[in-house]
Chain A
């Protein structure tokens, strides 16, 4: 597992152990990856994050059309593997979780432990976030640091 935010590690590890999920991705609603488990190629992570964020944005618009404020989660059922997607609020803003699971788990189990993950993340999030000014000269350094944290490169 690789995370950009160290405080995410423990709750996410617990979620993975309890839910028996194969892959997990935590990202911001803009698709910026916060933590990943199980992905081996960086291109897969970036693609999954972008698609996951896009799906949640699309379903958010469908929710508005039918008079819902938002859909909490959605599940895609496959023949062997399934995807669970859920948006949730954290002290760091709105995040999205993308979980891939197979016959080792069920959508009920993933949903149950994902709700616990959301609570644990809310409790573990540092209360004070130092304001950082985004400067062009820092951008590449911070980007490289995030890539190193996520992919070990």
Chain B
């Protein structure tokens, strides 16, 4: 497993990303974070982990496998999330100007290294 803080710092170089956080899926608590001021990391972590847990159950009930990537588009930007194995979730907060495609690639690569 790579150093999670280094992976989050690498993610922060993607244009438009306001930060990212590695969350424990079972309890919604922060494992590592790299967030800009003004982003409530604890709230993002708790709510994104809850959302990912529910999505896992939804895809399971639909007979599909694990969700791979979540992009939640809001008016002022997006929340991106991807599972890192069964125990962790990588969440990123993106502004409206973010390069979401690059962020997705970087997040999937980081998730593979963390899992």
Residues of A bordering B, CB below 8 Å: 77, 105-109, 111-112
- Residue pair B53, A112 in contact (C-beta under 8 Å): no
Scan B49-91; emit 1 where CB is below 8 A from any A CB, else 0: 1100100000000000000000000000000000000000000
Number of B residues with CB within 8 Å of any CB on chain A = 15
| Nearest chain B CB to A100 CB, angstrom units | 15
Chain B residues whose C-beta falls within 8 Å of the C-beta of A105 in the assembled complex:
50
Contact of A112 among B23, B24, B26, B43 (CB under 8 A): B43
Interface positions of B from 27 to 61, Cβ below 8 Å from A = 27-30, 42-43, 45-47, 49-50, 53
How far, in angstroms, from A112 to B27 measured CA to CA in the complex? 12
* B27, B29, B42: residue with the most chain A Cβ atoms closer than 10 Å: B27
- Residue pair A106, B43 in contact (C-beta under 8 Å): no
From B40, which residue of chain A is reached at the shortest CB distance? A112
Residues of B bordering A, CB below 8 Å: 23-24, 26-30, 42-43, 45-47, 49-50, 53
| Nearest chain B CB to A79 CB, angstrom units | 12
Chain B residues whose C-beta falls within 8 Å of the C-beta of A111 in the assembled complex:
42, 46
How far, in angstroms, from A88 to B109 measured CA to CA in the complex? 42
* A77, A108, A111: residue with the most chain B Cβ atoms closer than 10 Å: A108
In the complex, the 4 A-B pairs of residues with the closest C-beta atoms, listed nearest first: A108-B28, A108-B46, A106-B28, A107-B27
How far, in angstroms, from A27 to B8 measured CA to CA in the complex? 41
How far, in angstroms, from A106 to B53 measured CA to CA in the complex? 10
| Nearest chain B CB to A81 CB, angstrom units | 14
From B48, which residue of chain A is reached at the shortest CB distance? A108
